[in-house]
Amino acid sequence: MAEQQSAESVAAEVIDAAIADLERGERAWAERSLPSRAALLREVRAAVAGCAEEWALTASRMKGIPVGSPLEGEEWLSGPYGLLTATALLADSLDRLAAGGSPLEGETLGMAVGGRTTVRALPRTRDEELLLNGFRAEVWLQPGIGEGQARARAGLGQRHPADTGGIGLVLGAGNITAIPALDVLSELVAGNRVVILKPNPVMAAMTPVFEKALGPLIRADVLRIVEGGAEVGAQLTAHARVAHVHITGSAASHDAIVFGTGEEGRTRKAANDPRLRIPISSELGGVSPIIVVPGRWSPADLRYQAEHVATMRLHNAGANCIAGQLVIVSGDWPQRERFLAELRRAIDRAPARPDWYPGAADRAQAAVGAHTTALRCGPDGTRVLLELGAAGVGAPVETTEYFAPVLGVIDLPGDAASFLDAAVDHVTRRVAGTLGINVLVDPATERMLGRGFDEAVARLHYGTVAINAWTGVAFQTAAAPWGAYPGNHLADVGSGIGQVHNALLIDGAEKTVLRGPFRPFPRSVAGGETSLFPTPPWFVSARSAAVTGRRLVEYWIAPSARRMAAVFAAAFRA
């Protein structure tokens, strides 16, 4: 007991010292001009560039990825890449505000179903158009926000930079290394708050990297990093000088912070009587569905899209908040069996990797125990495929986020039109979470569905809807807000409250709609698509993923024609 009290006293001293530094930093931040803030963000970008290799390789070793494995590419793309693009665009947004304009000055705005104003998030530049050819994304604003309002309201906390918001606490994620740093940027810029970051203990190896990459913010006294477990998190959330909390994690962790634990916590939650008395925002994951619209697919289409689905589940060993977990297919699709056969093969063939995230093996075993039919897959049998058919409707895989390499498949009846309508209704009523959803549809079938397809997309109440793409691409898109569909509240938090990333500082976003090519190049051209994009480097089957990921980061550090050619040379060997 004495040792515990001593540890708590030491933690309290560290926290109090960090808070005192940040109070001083907040005063300086309030006086810092917008151009000076933009310059600071560019310093962060330079710091990230300086430690990008250390970042990617440290993350790879932390996750048990073998040296030289193509899987290292995941850590280049889900680590330094996201910070390089976010800091660059955030700095540009501040420059536009400093010039008396809007962050949306010069951006492309349009209109979506239901009269919603849209903002193009991808591609925004010639570089993005070339490097991500065939991918495009729009941010749909909430109904009633017109183009003029969208431009006038963009900027969030930087519209009135002297009105700082106190100290924001970021309880960092333990799975994707870019998340804690991106959340720090969201608190600092969108929230206009100085920040104390407590990384998840799982990320302990990354703390020295964060200290280097975010060093300019630390030296400016607008960021402090404090390590520790749940007890340190509890002290921080209860600290009188903390004005806001942001957590990336699970709904259970959110509820423990907001309402407490045990019987008291359950009672408070039932009464919607939070113990936490300051605002909290959150990104909490959920069950991410993959709707497979029936069509006439070639053998190459079946194989490619099976690898696509396998990637959605197996990227980062399944430890992603938007890892695809539930495949919904038509029981009347003539190609159903062939697609599932390709899916089994794709899951089996994906490179072996450890289930590195704590508790993954236990959660996978729980999924096996909760479903009467479960197939152990993969080189070492750690992957679980649940082919449940029509009987899978209402199964635990629809409501339990396993955060492990577990993939369920259920059937709904119908042809393309009736199946799509049924699938949209099903995910709305039965499937847990509203963070992200994926829809796979071949171009001919989408044309046949016409406006009905667009209306189905509008009815999908998810923070990100990805069509022929994985929602993880939107996560990596700096201009796209990231978070659950709006409308959750503390006692029913779902996939979370609020949005992060959002480097255009858009106010009033409803969701992001991302589109990718149904087929990779060169088959895309033969199929009538304009995409020149090869097999994506984030595919778990991409043989050159490590080289492509590294070269993409090197390109964004210092763009040049030579480096762009190097990206494509690597990507086309995937």
Task: Tell me whether residue 253 is exposed, middle or buried, using C-beta atoms within 10 angstroms of its C-beta: 0 to 12, 13 to 18, 19 or more.
Answer: middle
- Position with higher pLDDT, 4 vs 190: 190
Q: For residue range 480-516, what is the model confidence (pLDDT) as tens digits? A: 999 999 999 999 999 999 999 999 999 999 999 999 9
Spatial CB neighbours of 283, under 8 Å, sequence gap ≥ 6:
247, 248, 321, 435, 482, 483, 484, 495, 496, 500
Residue 470 pLDDT more than 90? yes
- Cα 296 to Cα 151, 281, 343, 445, distances in angstroms: 43, 43, 17, 8
Q: What is the DSSP letter of 492?
A: B
Q: Residue 2 has what pLDDT?
A: 47
| 251 confidence band (pLDDT: 50, 70, 90) | very high
Q: Residue 144 has what pLDDT?
A: 95
Residue 437 pLDDT more than 50? yes
Q: Which domains does the chain have, with CATH numbers?
A: 2-62+89-103+159-249 (3.40.605.10), 288-542 (3.40.309.10)
Q: Residue 8 has what pLDDT?
A: 63
Q: For residue range 347-403, what is the model confidence (pLDDT) as tens digits? A: 999 999 999 999 999 999 999 999 988 999 998 899 999 999 999 999 999 999 999
Q: Residue 7 has what pLDDT?
A: 54
Residue with the two structure tokens 């919904």: 328
Q: 386: helix, coil or strand?
A: strand
pLDDT (average), residues 244-270 = 96
Q: For residue range 61-88, what is the model confidence (pLDDT) as tens digits? A: 999 999 999 999 999 999 999 999 999 9
- Cα 524 to Cα 377, 396, 443, 532, 544, distances in angstroms: 31, 37, 10, 7, 20
Task: Tell me whether residue 348 is exposed, middle or buried, using C-beta atoms within 10 angstroms of its C-beta: 0 to 12, 13 to 18, 19 or more.
Answer: middle
| 526 confidence band (pLDDT: 50, 70, 90) | confident
183-192, 227-236, 251-260, 521-530: least confidently modelled range: 521-530
**SS3 labels along 79-123:** CHHHHHHHHHHHHHHHHHHHCCCCCCCCCCEEEEHHHEEEEEEEC
Residue 530 pLDDT more than 90? no
Residue 11 pLDDT more than 90? no
Residue 540 pLDDT more than 50? yes
What pTM, to 2 d.p., does this model score? Answer: 0.96
pLDDT (average), residues 327-339 = 98
Contact 536, 543 (CB under 8 A): no
